[in-house]
Structure 1
Amino acid sequence: MYTIQTNASGTRSMEISEKHLETIEKYSLFQQLIDSNGIVDETVLDKLKLNIRSLIASMEENSKDLLDLCIDVIYHNNMKAFGLHQLILLYIKWEREKEEKEEQEETEENHN
């Protein structure tokens, strides 16, 4: 379980689970989300919400993982642009750590 800060003053935070991060990865939710200016503002959060809504509407199979992500994180009362930026940073860090772990396991397998 990870915790992200959702406002600049640090008075609000949100719990992010491994499952939430896996769902973001599974549906590539952050891909093409941020414009070339690199700024995460309320417009970017709205774009993410619309993308997820569209995904859920077009899916024929169970989208429980996406719905859980929406309820727990994306549509949470504390989620604002600052929180989304922190979530993106957490996701990038999580991805890097996952890749490093996989590389380490691969190296260990090759040595055995």
Structure 2
Amino acid sequence: MYTIQANSSGTRCIEVSDENLRTIEKYALFRHLIDSNGIVDENVVEKLRFNIRSLIASQEEDSKGLLDLCIDVIYHNNMKAFGLQQLIKLYLTWFAAQEAEEEEDA
């Protein structure tokens, strides 16, 4: 379980699980999410929410992972642009650690 800071003052936090991060990886939710300017703002948060809603609506299989991600993280009351930026940083760190672990096992 990881904790990300949801605002710049550090008074609000969001808990993120390994399963949440695996769901982000499985559906490549951050791919092509941020525009070329590299700025994470409220429009990016809404774009991510729209993308996840369309994924859930179009799936015929179980979408429990996506629903859990929405409930726990994406639609959390504290999730704003700053929180999403922190989530992306956490994901990149987590993903790099996963790749390093796979290389060690190989």
Q: TM-score range by the shorter chain?
A: over 0.9
Distance 1:100 1:23 in 2: 19
Distance 1:105 1:79 in 2: 35
5+ long unaligned stretches in structure 2: none
Amino-acid identity (%): 69
TM-score when normalising by structure 1:
0.93
Which residue is equivalent to 1:83?
Answer: 83
Which residue is equivalent to 2:30?
Answer: 30
Return the offset for 1:104: 1.3
User: Per the alignment, in what secondary structure is the counterpart of residue 15 of structure 1?
Assistant: strand
Distance 1:70 1:61 in 2: 17
Kindly tell me the number of residue pairs found equivalent between the two proteins. 106
Whichever of the two has the greater Rg, that structure is 1
The Cα RMSD (Å) is 0.5
Return the offset for 1:105: 1.6
- Return the letter of the residue paired with 1:34: I
Distance 1:25 1:67 in 2: 15
Which residue is equivalent to 2:73?
Answer: 73
User: Mapping of 1:1-112 within 5 angstroms?
Assistant: 1-106=1-106
Distance 1:51 1:35 in 2: 15
Return the offset for 1:26: 0.5
TM-score when normalising by structure 2:
0.98
Return the offset for 1:99: 0.7
- Return the letter of the residue paired with 1:49: R
Which runs of structure 1 show a deviation greater than 4 angstroms over 4 or more consecutive aligned residues?
Answer: none
Distance 2:61 2:103 in 1: 33
Distance 1:100 1:63 in 2: 28
Which residue is equivalent to 1:109?
Answer: none
